[in-house]
Amino acid sequence: MAAYSLDQLYQFVSTFEAPATVRTRWAYSNTDVGLLGVLLARRTGSSYEALIESRITRPLGMTSTAVAVAPAMQQRLAIGHDAGLKPAGPWTVPTLAAGGSLHSTVNDLLALLAAAGDPTTVAGAAMPGMLAIRRQAPGFQQALGWMILAAGPGEGLLLHDGNTLGFASSLLYDPASRTGVAGAYAPGPSAVFEVTRDGDALMIQLPGIPKFRLRPESTRDFFVAENTRVTVTFSVDAAGQVTGLLLKAPTGNVTAVRRP
């Protein structure tokens, strides 16, 4: 992704043909979000980073949020680690910067959530429009920039999270009580997953993420229906009982031992 150029993005857009399942099947796309950032920047005659700084981070006082890590930020930058506890390299996606290149702090993310509940701020003024458009997804609704979970009072809880090499972050916001939480985590060699059966379907849920359906490739190998690059392989003992699983994703591999 670091080598993916703007010319390549334009070439892709000029030749892309939407699949027959468009408007009928949910799929998350970093390419769409990255393209939106490029188009908004072009519309204003600016760069994506300059646009975010002038319209959002500076008005909201988010002084530790930027695409490029300034020297003052570099001193406080956490070192990410992969699933093998090895230091992860820097994450650089210049062309698709809107799809996951902002560096931030928990305090800045909480400032963003505080502004989301204030209609006099740029973030709060945008919320009604962001939540007005919704599409049904597996276990949640997809709005503009937010996943809406059914749990919680009022319209439910708003969630968005993401992963890069060595890092994971999550925002959860309750519009009814104007309560929000933010966090950043370095992935370890194990994690807790919930694997359940829903009718004839096998479902998997990671902490803070809606359930996803697992589709079989064999008796032990499965893939996530919404993202085929994420696979799950179950391990079994001599008696054929499941003892754990291995989850493989573009951001790394994670093992989990089945709890009694």
Q: Where in the chain is the domain with CATH 3.40.710.10?
A: 6-12+25-185
Instruction: Determine how β-strand 179-185 pairs with β-strand 194-198.
Output: unpaired
pLDDT 10s per residue in the chain (260 long)?
889 999 999 999 999 998 888 888 888 888 999 999 999 999 999 999 999 999 999 999 999 999 998 888 888 888 888 767 788 888 888 999 998 899 998 889 989 999 998 999 999 999 999 999 888 887 788 999 898 987 555 668 898 887 787 887 888 888 888 887 765 432 344 446 778 877 777 888 776 566 788 888 888 888 887 677 788 898 888 888 888 888 887 667 787 888 76
| Pairing mode of beta strands 167-174, 157-164 | antiparallel
Could you name the CATH architecture of 6-12+25-185? 3-Layer(aba) Sandwich (3.40)
pLDDT of residue 251: 63
pLDDT of residue 57: 95
Distance between CA atoms of residues 201 and 207, nearest Å: 20
* Largest CA-CA distance found in the chain, in angstroms, rounded: 65
CA distances, 213 to each of 79, 198, 231 (Å): 32, 9, 11
In terms of Cα–Cα distance, which of 111, 112, 115, 107 is closest to 76? 107
In sequence order, what are the residues at sequence separation of 6 or more whose Cβ sits closer than 8 angstroms to the Cβ of residue 126? none
